[in-house]
Amino acid sequence: MDISKRQLIESVFAGGGEMGALMRAFDWSTAPLGPVQQWPQSSRMCVRIVLGSGYPMAIMWGRDVVLLYNDAGRPFFGGKHPWALGRSSREVFPESWDFVEPLFNRVMTQGQAASFLTDQLPKHLLNDWRTRGNVS
């Protein structure tokens, strides 16, 4: 890997604890998002913001709704972490896609933000979270 590519990767995924390290080591050229150097600057900045946050955050990017998330968001993925990184939300959460697809469609077609609050989660996901001790 040439120096400029390495510097870009180090810059985009700076810090970020375990998830920053996983993202730096990930071969993005094999993922739907493609190589980091082809990502829009705005998307790179969003990733830096998410990695720097102490609050659970995830980016679900593009038509493939590819997942990138921070350390605080790891519990949401349970046993699907770290496998979920860089994969489509459809693939990672097929059990809840019927619930979230309309939310993503509104984001993509109308530009409306989507937020997943505990009281909006499908009951089977909320029960799974409570079982694992992630939600009180």
pTM of the model: 0.80
Q: Which two tokens stand for residue 60?
A: 């679900």
Q: Tell me: the pLDDT tens digits for 3-43?
A: 688 899 999 999 889 999 999 999 999 999 999 999 999 99
Question: What pLDDT sits at residue 111?
Answer: 83
Question: In angstroms, rounded to a whole number, what is the distance separating the alpha carbons of residues 52 and 77?
Answer: 19
At position 93, the amino acid (one-letter code) is F
Does 116 have pLDDT greater than 80?
Answer: no
Mean pLDDT value across residues 86-112: 88
Structural element, H or E, at residue 61? strand 58-61
Residue that wins the pLDDT comparison between 114 and 42: 42
Kindly give the residue spans of alpha helices, DSSP state H, lying in 34-96: 41-52, 74-77, 89-92
> In percent, how much of the chain has pLDDT > 70?
82
Does 72 have pLDDT greater than 90?
Answer: yes
Question: In angstroms, rounded to a whole number, what is the distance separating the alpha carbons of residues 42 and 80?
Answer: 27
